[in-house]
Structure 1
Amino acid sequence: MKQLIFILLFFITPLSFCQNSLSDLLSKHNTKNIAYMSVQELAMPKTKALILDAREVNEFNTSHLKNAIYVGYNDFNIKTIKDLFPNKTSQIVVYCSIGIRSETIANKLKKEGYTNIYNLYGGIFEWKNHGYPVYNSEEKQTEEVHTFSKEWRKWLTKGKSVY
């Protein structure tokens, strides 16, 4: 019985703590106006979505999700999106490092009338933490993930942190 309790405390508690910490962080910074999509759902072959990267260009060039379209954060331009994607019912998933900047961009899309928008829960960090591939500026698979800062790299548990 003591072994079972140890196993539960040692293995399950850290996972729960990490997950709760990410949830707490997202709850603190996000308004929840945009629904989340899990990395597992986005990775499913049946999910056909436009994937928008709401990080800065140096982050995108280090690594991004396959077929992601760079839209940026500081230089985000809604007119460009409207020109590229006039169908406002298309499924769109926006991501960033962990899901804070992407919610801001997703809200801008929502205000312009886009109706099928999701924020990728945990962003590219959660994507990589679940073992899904990321690609560099040459579209080659990489282990590197731009973690924005030393502080944020704690959320990346797999791959190689660069900033």
Structure 2
Amino acid sequence: MSQSISSSTKAEEVVSVDVSQAKTLLQSGHQYLDVRTQDEFRRGHCEAAKIVNIPYMLNTPQGRVKNQEFLEQVSSLLNPADDILVGCQSGARSLKATTELVAAGYKKVRNVGGGYLAWVDHSFPINTEEEEPSAN
């Protein structure tokens, strides 16, 4: 099922929060939607009790392309009524993803300005999923 972005939804309608606000919101139960690639996510992501990784862009041999199943994948895991923070590496992809989610009816979604880089700059807790090197 394909959904298109309403031409009336503009980035100005998207609510953005800085990483300090995001950290507080995560502690109060907001869900975190990390829209970076799976490799970026595995290398490190913000520490959050409820975190989901659904890439907005996919790496292909031709370069990065938009994940055409993004909305479908999000809707299979998150409800439009959920409190959701959307983050990426620096804030650009998450702004696009948040704009698309708002157009699709997600009312309580916010973009995390500055993204993971700002999170790290603030020395906030992170998790990594890199495999440990074997001891052999």
TM > 0.5 fold call? yes
CA shift, 1:47, in A, is 2.8
Identity of paired residues, percent?
24
CA shift, 1:33, in A, is 2.8
Normalised to the residue count of structure 2, the TM-score between the two structures is 0.71
Paired positions, count: 110
Could you tell me which residue of structure 1 aligns to residue 70 of structure 2?
Answer: 77
Aligned pairs for 1:47-126 within 5 A: 47-67=28-48, 68-74=51-57, 75=67, 77-86=70-79, 88-126=80-118
* Residue aligned with 1:48, SS: coil
CA-atom RMSD in angstroms: 2.2
Aligned partners of 1:98 and 1:125: how far apart in 2?
A: 6
What residue ranges of structure 2 are gaps of 5+ in the alignment? 1-9, 58-66
Larger Rg: 1
What residue ranges of structure 1 are gaps of 5+ in the alignment? 1-29, 141-163
Opposite residue 39 of structure 2, the aligned amino acid is N
Instruction: Summarize deviations over 1:107-137 as a string: whole Å, max 9, x none.
Output: 1111110001111111011111111011111
Report the structure, 1 or 2, having the larger strand content. 2
CA shift, 1:31, in A, is 3.1
CA shift, 1:79, in A, is 1.2
Return the structure number with greater relative CO, CA threshold 8 A, min gap 6: 2
Q: Is the 8 A contact 2:43 2:130 kept in 1?
A: no
Could you tell me which residue of structure 2 aligns to residue 131 of structure 1?
Answer: 123
